[in-house]
Structure 1
Amino acid sequence: MFHYLRIPDEYGYFQLDVFLLTRLYGVIIEVKNIYGTISFDDMGQMIRTANEIEEGFHNPLEQIAVQEYRLRKWLKQKRYSTNDRTLREKVIHEAQLLSKLEKIANKYEKTSLNTRQWNKLTEKLIEAHTEQKNDILNKYGIHREQLLKGVFCYACKLPSMVRIHGGWKCTQCGEMSPDAHMAAFKGYYLLHGNMVRNREAREFFSVTSPDIVKQLLQKGSFEKLGNGSATKYVMNADDWVKS
């Protein structure tokens, strides 16, 4: 399952909130958090009724149709075939999602991809994903090379923490911390986006050991995408980045 895939194509970029890819099928899931009663008028506009007030929204079904078209075209360019099946009852409540996916799975008896093909397509999607550039550095005219690298000490506010015996110790003031790396992950997220590779985290933390950084990424309970050198970890802002 992929979250917030952003893929370049000839029209620019298209983004998928959630893309569930199995060896049997692929499903695009667009998430909308809207209260009230939802309906669609004859013109295809989505209407939300709440407290006896009607409000119009862009039709998410049209958005899904565009995403599907662009994804199919991208897959074709990568030499993957797709069928023309589309879903009925495309708008459902979140409580119905699991049962809906089970119904979809029951419709497919023959796998479309073998394990090798599935792994290869997964890697291609991860490689194609392009983070939307954060404007903070550009806004203030700061280059990546100018950023202070390292894990910062809570006490003396210097990037002088080193990894010792499963924790962190400041080489300047001697302060100890079990989780100083989490603030560094937050900083990376805010500056560079929600996906990070082991190599990128090592550079940002000023840590040379890939094994130590791998352990920190795993302890962070970040979602892992891909394998080997293509591995990326997804940091979820809703879990630990304060607004």
Structure 2
Amino acid sequence: MHKHRTVPKLLSGLFALERRLPRHHEKYKFITEELYNTRAGYSGELEYDRYMKEVQTDFPHAVLHDLSLHHEGVYFQIDSLFITPDSIFISEIKNRADRIIVTANPTQFLQVNNKGESQLFRSPIAEVERKVQFLRKWLGRRNVNIPVKGIIVFAYNNQMQIEGEPRLPIYTSYEAPTFFRSLKPEKKIIEKRDISRIAIELARSHREYNPYPLVTHYKIQPHTLKKGVFCSTCTVPSIMIWTARRWECRLCGKRESDSHMAGIEEWFMLMPHKLTNQAFCEFTGIKDRHTAKRLLARSKLKQQGIGRGSYYELIP
């Protein structure tokens, strides 16, 4: 395994944004749906990864999950990549519930629920074909000439109805390992060392998609967010207060000295402004600027500037 999947920045940020967005906010429903879909998508990808651990072949191969690459000013994201001696496969993973109907001419994907209601969704085949073209160009710039192919994978064991022959193979996560195990490379375009070299270069070239700050990404006014440091124990969001050199939750009684660290992380996920002492006080609810300065100094941050013009940045 040359690259494992990690929790998307967008998912972490959406958790923070949903908690800080008032329920009456005009975008609250939209953000909760974004969070649900992003979490479901990540869960489906993890399901695929779990099954792919079963893949053992008699030919050299490399597996990379969750790649974000850049070519000619365009970023393109690949859910999973499988490199063999004669081809590279892009897996496009879809997390869709209910029954899936696929028609080949014209190419259409329908999701049908248990009430018989159908919903047309964007063809993942078109998505994969776009990524295939970009990856071919990306490889070509590095003098790697090998066929790039694509498959569609539905994360769970959906009831599938495929009418005609779609342009790309379609499987469930459970079936995907069988597909890869059954491959029989016809000719050796690249050697084992080349497979490893390409995989290492792909992993090095990965640039994680960064949607921060989310208030800018989703066009939300920063002042509409809830302020304060949230208790990490309470299931219902509870604001802690700073007292006697520590944070205390009035709801469950929990006491901690570093609860503000989560608040700092959320600031850099959500807010578009520089983190100053005053901004830290307003965001966390700390009343005393000297206390805020001491907490910021103890945090994993780098101070820039001096005096009233100083601000804090995350240490890379």
TM-score for both structures, normalised by structure 2: 0.42
Equivalent residue, structure 2, for 1:128? 205
With 22-31 and 66-75 compared, the bigger mean Cα shift is at 22-31
Give per-residue Cα distances to partners, 1:16-71, cap 9 Å, x unaligned.
01112234432111111112221234332211111200100000011111111111
Equivalent residue, structure 1, for 2:18? none
CA distance in 1, matches of 2:95, 2:193: 36
Give per-residue Cα distances to partners, 1:186-239, cap 9 Å, x unaligned.
x59x85xxxxxxxxxxxx969xxxxxxxxxxxxxxxxxxxxxxxxxxxxxxxxx
Residue 35 of structure 1 aligns to a residue whose secondary structure is coil
Equivalent residue, structure 2, for 1:168? none
Equivalent residue, structure 2, for 1:49? 112
Equivalent residue, structure 2, for 1:34? 96
Segments of 5+ residues of structure 2 without an aligned counterpart are: 1-62, 152-166, 217-221, 223-246, 248-254, 270-298, 302-316
Amino acid in structure 2 at the alignment position of 1:52: G
Residue 93 of structure 2 aligns to a residue whose secondary structure is coil
Q: For 1:14-25, what aligned pairs fall within 5 Å after superposition?
A: 14-25=76-87
User: CA 1:84 to 1:2, structure 2 compared with 1: closer, same or farther past 3 Å?
Assistant: closer
Shift of 1:74: 1.0
User: CA 1:86 to 1:132, structure 2 compared with 1: closer, same or farther past 3 Å?
Assistant: closer
Q: Are the aligned partners of 2:89 and 2:148 in contact in 1 as well (CA < 8 Å)?
A: no
Equivalent residue, structure 2, for 1:95? 174
User: CA 1:6 to 1:82, structure 2 compared with 1: closer, same or farther past 3 Å?
Assistant: same
Shift of 1:11: 4.9
Query: Max radius of gyration: which structure?
Result: 2
Shift of 1:86: 6.6
Give per-residue Cα distances to partners, 1:53-94, cap 9 Å, x unaligned.
010000001111111111111111110012376777611122
Equivalent residue, structure 1, for 2:132? 68
Query: Quick one: percent identity of the two aligned structures?
Result: 19
Shift of 1:5: 0.7
Equivalent residue, structure 1, for 2:250? none
Equivalent residue, structure 1, for 2:296? none
Residue 138 of structure 2 aligns to a residue whose secondary structure is helix
Q: For 1:125-204, what aligned pairs fall within 5 Å after superposition?
A: 125-136=202-213, 155-157=256-258
Amino acid in structure 1 at the alignment position of 2:258: K
TM-score for both structures, normalised by structure 1: 0.53
Residue 171 of structure 2 aligns to a residue whose secondary structure is coil
Residue 73 of structure 1 aligns to a residue whose secondary structure is helix
- After superposing on structure 2, the runs of 4+ consecutive aligned residues of structure 1 that deviate more than 6 Å are 84-88
Residue of structure 2 aligned with 1:111, choices 176, 180, 188: 188
Amino acid in structure 2 at the alignment position of 1:48: Q
Alignment root-mean-square deviation, CA: 3.5
Aligned length: 157
With a CA cutoff of 8 Å and minimum separation of 6, indicate the structure with the bigger relative contact order.
2
User: CA 1:133 to 1:83, structure 2 compared with 1: closer, same or farther past 3 Å?
Assistant: closer
Residue 97 of structure 2 aligns to a residue whose secondary structure is coil
